[in-house]
């Protein structure tokens, strides 16, 4: 009897230990999260996969770490795959140019009383010169050798923080609309967003799915985005797809799923479906208000949106971006009484405005917060 008990205890210890991914931080120490799970630094201390960075690529990003997320405003995949991470941390996602960070962005980091900055991507995305501007904070860089590997690094953190170890979302890594549309769904479900080439499952993504024993995969986009062949060869117990004839219909299908999750049928967030800058950070507000993100053409209201407003009797709408992204004509055609617009002079200032709006959680969606918000 004692031998049986000992055997059971031994097996339990082995099983419990196996869930810990032992990863050393850049100082050679072991990083431990609030959940008690450690994670691996895949690079040597001082090594950046994009070449020669001395930023700490290990460390610990926790719910209580006071972190903000900083990503390239020129590479949408880095931002959108990181949006789930930022939402799980309930923090802001800000943008920078590769070699220059705006004063507005620096001021916003200060306003948020950040203790840590999580930089997304290697030095090809966010250079050492930008990192030097934020050196007063602890800086952790999540980076891979390319966009696909970077998405895996981000996914590791999302899985660790959410505890959702068996679900994932897959989208095309070469097109932005589907990632914008799915970002709210993935955030609400706590699912990491993985990216792939359209015709063949990227090896790093395939390896992650296998190594993590992912059993439930949601594909976003039609067969031109993620091929039928990829879907047929995914080694998961459950594979589903949210995809329409085009980006606008795909966004509508995702929106329906978001509404099923949240029960929110009165709110809508609207962004330009032809260009990515204004839509890449809006997920923080979409998740906050449990609202889907829908797409329109800049100069005329897309029929899908017009139908959505009419059928659901949408009462509150937030538009992401200025009038070049979603025109005044489109806003008028919406015929929604409560509309607010969050925008700046460029994508970097728009990200700051979204961050400020995210801080004002009490003010409901659809209110002109600029008249009530004091910086």
φ and ψ at 252, to 5 degrees?
-65, -40
- Please indicate, yes or no, whether residues 146 and 177 belong to a single structural domain of this protein: no
All residues at 6 or more sequence positions from 293 whose CB lies less than 8 Å from its CB, including other chains: 180, 181, 183, 184, 251, 255, 269, 270, 271, 279, 282, 283, 286
Contact assessment for residue 92 and residue 114, using Cβ atoms and an 8 Å cutoff: no
DSSP-based three-state secondary structure for 217: strand
Q: Are residues 193 and 229 in the same domain?
A: yes
What is the distance between the alpha carbons of residues 307 and 18, in angstroms, rounded to a whole number? Answer: 50
295 in a structural domain:
yes
pLDDT, residue 369, reads: 52
Together in a domain, 60 and 191: no
- The Cα 246–Cα 22 span in angstroms is 43
Q: Are residues 237 and 100 in the same domain?
A: no
Q: Do 173 and 63 share a structural domain?
A: no
Asked if residue 3 and residue 151 are part of one domain, the reply reads: yes
| Spatial contact of 92 and 358, defined as CB atoms under 8 Å apart | yes
pTM, two decimals, is 0.84
What's the pLDDT score for residue 370?
Answer: 52
**Count of structural domains, the chain:** 3
Contacts of 311 (CB under 8 A, 6+ apart): none
User: What is d(CA 140, CA 120) in angstroms, rounded to the nearest whole number?
Assistant: 9
Same domain, 169 and 154: no
Q: What is the largest CA-CA distance in the chain?
A: 78
Question: Which helix (H) or strand (E) is 142 found in, with range?
Answer: strand 138-142
Q: Are 134 and 171 within one domain? A: no
Q: What pLDDT score was predicted for residue 63?
A: 86
pLDDT given for residue 34 in this prediction: 32
Identify the pLDDT of residue 366: 87
- The answer to whether 218 and 167 have CB atoms below 8 angstroms apart is yes
In order along its 375 residues, the chain shows pLDDT tens digits of: 454 444 444 444 433 333 332 222 332 232 333 332 233 444 443 344 443 343 444 456 888 889 999 999 998 899 989 999 999 999 999 999 999 999 999 999 999 999 999 999 999 999 999 999 999 999 999 999 999 999 999 999 999 999 999 999 999 999 899 999 999 999 999 999 999 999 999 999 999 999 999 999 999 999 999 999 999 999 899 999 999 999 999 999 999 999 999 999 999 999 999 998 888 899 999 999 999 999 999 999 999 999 999 999 999 999 999 999 999 999 999 999 899 999 999 999 999 999 999 999 888 898 865 544 443
- Parent domain of 220: 164-243
Q: What does the buried/exposed string (b/e) look like for 178-206 if buried means 16 or more CB atoms within 10 Å of the residue's CB?
A: bbbbbbbbbbbbbbbbbbbbbeebbebbb
Domain boundary among 108, 125, 160: 160
For the chain, what's the residue count?
Answer: 375
């Amino acid at each position: 009897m004692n031998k049986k008990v000992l055997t059971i205890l031994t097996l339990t210890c082995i099983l419990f230990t196996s869930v810990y991914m032992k990863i050393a931080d850049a100082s050679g120490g072991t990083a431990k999260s609030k959940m008690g799970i450690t994670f691996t630094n895949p690079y040597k201390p001082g090594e950046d996969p994009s070449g020669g960075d001395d930023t700490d690529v290990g460390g610990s990003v926790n719910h209580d770490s006071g972190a903000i997320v900083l990503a390239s405003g020129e590479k949408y995949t880095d931002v959108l795959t990181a949006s789930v991470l930022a939402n799980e941390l309930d923090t802001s996602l800000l943008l920078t140019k590769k070699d220059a960070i705006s004063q507005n962005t620096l001021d916003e980091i200060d306003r948020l009383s950040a203790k840590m900055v999580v930089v997304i991507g290697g030095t090809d995305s966010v250079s050492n010169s930008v990192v030097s501007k934020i050196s007063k904070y602890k800086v952790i860089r999540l980076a891979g050798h390319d966009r696909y590997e970077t998405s895996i690094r981000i996914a590791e953190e999302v899985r660790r923080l959410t505890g959702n170890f068996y679900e994932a979302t897959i989208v095309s890594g070469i097109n932005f609309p589907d990632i914008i549309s799915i970002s709210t769904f993935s955030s609400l479900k706590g699912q990491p967003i993985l990216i792939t080439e359209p015709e063949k499952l990227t090896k790093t993504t395939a390896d992650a799915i296998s190594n993590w024993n992912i059993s439930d995969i949601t594909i976003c986009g039609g067969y031109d985005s993620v091929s039928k062949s990829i879907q047929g060869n995914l080694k998961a117990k459950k594979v589903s797809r949210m995809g329409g004839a085009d980006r606008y219909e795909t966004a509508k299908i995702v929106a329906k799923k978001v509404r099923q999750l949240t029960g929110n049928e009165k709110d809508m967030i609207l962004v330009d479906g032809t260009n990515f800058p204004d839509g890449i950070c809006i997920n923080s507000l979409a998740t906050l208000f449990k609202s889907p993100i829908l797409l329109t053409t800049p100069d005329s209201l897309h029929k899908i949106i017009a139908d959505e407003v009419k059928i659901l009797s949408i009462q509150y709408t937030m538009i992401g971006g200025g009038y070049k992204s979603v025109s005044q004509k489109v806003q008028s055609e919406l015929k929604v009484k409560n509309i607010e617009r969050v925008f700046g002079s460029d994508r970097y200032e728009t990200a700051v405005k979204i961050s400020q709006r995210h801080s004002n959680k009490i003010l409901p969606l659809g209110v002109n917060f600029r008249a009530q918000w004091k910086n």
